[in-house]
Amino acid sequence: MPATVPFEQIDRIVWNQHHDPFEVLGPHAIEENGKKVWAVRAYLPNADAVSVVLPEARAEYAMKSEHHPHFFECTIDTPELANYQLRVKEGEHERFIYDPYAFRSPKLTEFDQHLFSEGNHHRIYEKLGAHLTEVGGITGVYFAVWAPNARNVSVLGDFNYWDGRKHQMRKSQNGIWELFIPGLSVGTSYKYEVKNQDGHPYEKSDPYGFQQEVRPKTASIVTDLDTYTWHDSAWIDKRRHTDPLTQPISVYECHIGSWLHAATDEPAVLPNGEIEPPVQVSELNPGARFLTYRELADRLIPYVKDLGFTHIEMLPIAEHPFDGSWGYQVTGYFAPTSRYGKPEDFMYFVDQCHANGIGVLVDWVPGHFPKDGHGLAFFDGTHLYEHADSRKGEHKEWGTLVFNYGRNEVRNFLVSNALFWFDKYHIDGIRVDAVASMLYLDYCREPGEWLTNQYGGRENIEAADFLRQANHVIFSYFPGALSIAEESTSWPMVSWPTYVGGLGFNLKWNMGWMHDMLDYYHMDPWFRQFHQNNVTFSMWYNHSENFMLALSHDEVVHGKAHIIGKMPGDEWQKFANVRCLFTFMFAHPGKKTIFMGMEFGQWQEWNVWGDLEWRLLQFEPHQKLKLFFKDLNNLYRSETALYSQDFAEDGFEWIDCSDNRHSVVAFVRREKDGDEFVVTVCNFTPQPHSHYRVGVPEPGFYTELFNSDAREYGGSNMGNLGGKWTDEWWFHNSAYSIDLCLPPLGVLILKLDRAKTTAKSQEF
């Protein structure tokens, strides 16, 4: 039979050069001898014979190859042609398949494409990527990927022997390539073969893929995220109606891959009783494997709950190829890393956190991405996700690329990704990494290595606009969530709402407080009298932002020593300094974050390939420090004055901040909408003071709620026998004061006992 399509069109299919293979392949209505018939065409490399099978009509039509041995066609005289099959013979093997090019209706509507092109398709992850779909009663997988500058894009996988000729995709007007492949199911591994305009192929993981193979493999995996049954509706509803800024937030920052390992010969047991093969950690720790998400739910959650933390913050759990990046060089933005299990396993972990009253925060990395060949870099043969000019598009110090925030589709990718983790995984907040690197065009760049903005300044206006959009979208969909900026500069209004010109975060890490305090505690206590400003300076700017006080993973790596190793003095003084620091931290305005290992006094720096030094808990000082953190968290959560007005001016008042000779400060924290308050007195030297007078707001009995020097925490047990009555003695601008015993390197937290005070007054 003569070809029913021009030979040049066939050649474009054979040589994989056609932007729309549907124009050639699949069923086409044509006229033959003045009559409407169907021409069916298929390009099947490796096929020896092909025929069209009409199951309902019980008819079969042999296809012929005239122009090319693997390009088959035939004509069928029938009014309708739906859900036909192809009988494909390859050597001794024969199979029946549905023709992908018979399913012509695109899943993306014009409205979807319009929203994506303007950067406002908030749930574009429901359209792009790989989705289990039913079309015309036939189940398969719909693939869609944005690659506007590619010459051709194909789907690769085991199902087609990773041959890019077999499943060529169709390009839409805005550069999205799509194809429905019938017969595929959840668990299918795939990639995209992306060819640039010169025909050079790149094998890419799916930017919107929901799961990836365990590294070092890099293929994406078809996944259905809607099969898990959640049990946290009450938690989500409560969060929606709660202002987190008035609640206690005490965060346990954790790298789940190095919190604890299991032995490589210890199998992981799945919920159905099956045994999961162990995952090797790395060549640097060959005898250990990662705990799975479900094992972490059984071990990490009870540990954090017992210590009294309100949230777990995980270093990035999005897929990343290199363990040593700690997760901060992401290649799979929509895929929880397969190191620890499957997506539904991570859902289970989050669900169990909520069941135990613990919120979940994840580190989010929209500032840069690695150059790995299977990732976003040079995705369609051009600088698609990154800037073409390295003066804007590359962090040479990190060896990574910078997102082009001015491109709508790139901004849409990132905004929808932030929303995705709240939507599909029910997380409670994100900590946005390296915000300063996004906001400044000259960040870590020498003169001549960066470009100014359109006004000649160093500010990255496009990045700031992106952050505002991301935060606006998050809080529009998920009120009560947290968006925390790791921002180390004086950029104004980082944690202010977008409607007043802020970046829209609701919390910002207080990097200034962190540096001041670590510098202060590092010095010998005798010299602290000359550096009282380190302790007091944070309150000068405290109300400019909603601050979170964070002592994070960055402070215990790269030769900086762990927290206890930073402290001066003998071992007793080191532990006392640690207790003093963290008690002051929890009494100071601002939400709290500490990194794993600090809670029991780890000595060694954090090692991403090892475990925490759990063996230290056999020793009494470390046991007592862990108890200290448990009691400190419980106190913090029970006293509303310590958290309800972190960001209000009437929530904090200095009693005295000028006694640098003794390195002592005292202050009041007040609750919101009430008359309760607590008094905190800090002695930052090892010299105790047996009679130290402090002015207080009201007369009565002040109970000693917490003493960081208590015997049960490993201290010297100096204190005030449970509390002190006030004297009618004017001091610190107050009519009443108390005579305290200040323990060495100790912090006291006291509270007026109104019941006891009232009872005594009635005696008289």
- Residues designated as active site: 433, 486
> Of 363, 351, 315, which Cα lies nearest the Cα of 236?
351
CB 368 within 8 A of CB 434: yes
SS (H, E, C) 363-420: EECCCCECCCCCCCCCCCCCCCCECCCHHHHEECCCCEECECCCCHHHHHHHHHHHHH
Separation CA 245–CA 547 (nearest Å): 10
Closest to 443 measured CA to CA, from 464, 458, 454, 455: 458
Q: Give the C-alpha separation, 761 to 764, whole Å.
A: 6
Distance of CA 592 to the CA centre of its chain: 18
State the Cα–Cα distance between residues 133 and 495, nearest whole angstrom: 41
Q: Name the residue type at position 671.
A: E
Distances (CA, A) of 144 to 84, 124, 129, 298: 24, 11, 5, 37
Distances (CA, A) of 256 to 83, 296, 322, 347, 473: 48, 8, 15, 15, 28
C-alpha closest to that of 718 among 690, 691, 695: 690
Return the closest-CA partner of residue 530 out of 539, 520, 540, 522. Answer: 520
Helix ranges, 562-602 (H): 563-566, 571-587
| Spatial CA neighbour of 317 closest among 302, 298, 330 | 330
- 683 and 287 in contact (C-beta within 8 Å)? no
Please tell me the distance from the alpha carbon of residue 644 to that of residue 247, in angstroms, as a whole number.
6
Q: How far apart are CA 495 and CA 544, in angstroms?
A: 9
- Residue 150 amino acid letter: A
| Cis upstream peptide for 216 (omega within 30°) | yes
d(CA 420, CA 318): 12
How many angstroms separate the CA atoms of 501 and 503, rounded?
7
Q: CA–CA separation, 670 vs 650, rounded Å?
A: 7
CA-nearest of 492, 438, 498, 490 to 468 is 498
Q: Taking Cα atoms as reference points, which of 361, 138, 406 lies closest to residue 254? A: 361
- Give the whole-angstrom CA distance, residue 756 versus residue 415: 55
Q: What is the DSSP string of 521-561?
A: HHS-GGGGGG-THHHHTHHHHGGGS-EEEEE-GGGGSTTS-
